[in-house]
Structure 1
């Protein structure tokens, strides 16, 4: 059976701040993120099945990524939980979409976080091959399963 990679693109807007960073990104700022999720699997070989020939129906992939990532991240503010409590309390007064994470919310760490989340929600027989997260039009971070085994 041939292994096939399928990719779907997504978009979301999210703000973040880099705790104790020594440049402009220590200030709260936002990005128009573009996300590419690539799965690996064997196309279904069941001529009478409505999903025959598919690794995973793109609609199912869309549902997983929208539910687990886009709907949670879009128009949210991602902040390192090391930010002092009083600052977190102030941020919570300005937004109801605050995501506290146990890491510096760089694009590199966010792409790894997305991979961790998505791997838990894929059906059997389909694996996460790679993720590419664009922070800007010219800058992105990539996660590959083969680099993380």
Structure 2
């Protein structure tokens, strides 16, 4: 019998952003200590000769993907929607040596988690599927992405 098992790894990073056109405090540049839970699903490796025997995916391999695609890119960066006048502020900050990301979307948790899902899915081995992401922005606020909801 083939068993599908979900495994989750949590990541943390610090990111600043501003929401252009927003009608509240988040229109100002501010930051969050984000927590990202990445859940993948697959069958444990049954080949006893494989050094990864019994694993769905080595947590270290999952860590490498998320570190390269998300943590290294977003940690201690300020994210702006490049399709808004914030692009001028972003250029000024970059000229002063700040780490700035210009993205094609409003950098809300909802849109960031969609971006993260796309980036992570492209790097997973063929036999491993992204099941869910949970991006926690504050102690009480988070956005979730589930593969089952994307049909």
Structure 2: which 5+ residue stretches go unaligned?
A: none
Aligned position for 1:37: 38
| Structure 1 residues not aligned, in runs of 5+ | none
SS in 2 for 1:111: helix
**TM-score after normalising by structure 2:** 0.95
* Residue in structure 2 matching 1:129, options 120, 128, 131: 131
Cα distance in 2 between the residues matched to 1:89 and 1:73: 17
2:99 to 97, 100, 106: 97
Q: Does 1:25 align with 2:38?
A: no
**TM-align CA RMSD:** 1.0
Kept in 2: contact 1:19–1:82 (CA 8 A): no
Flag as ranges the 4+ runs of structure 1 deviating above 6 A: none
Is the aligned partner of 1:4 residue 2:5? yes
**For the residues of structure 1 that align with 2:136 and 2:90, how far apart are their CA atoms?**
27
Query: Matched residue of 2:102: which SS?
Result: strand
| Count of matched residue pairs | 149
The separation in 1 between residues aligned to 2:88 and 2:114, in whole angstroms, is: 28
SS in 2 for 1:88: helix
Distance change (3 Å), C-alpha of 1:29 and 1:147: same
Question: Scaled by the length of structure 1, what TM-score is found?
Answer: 0.96
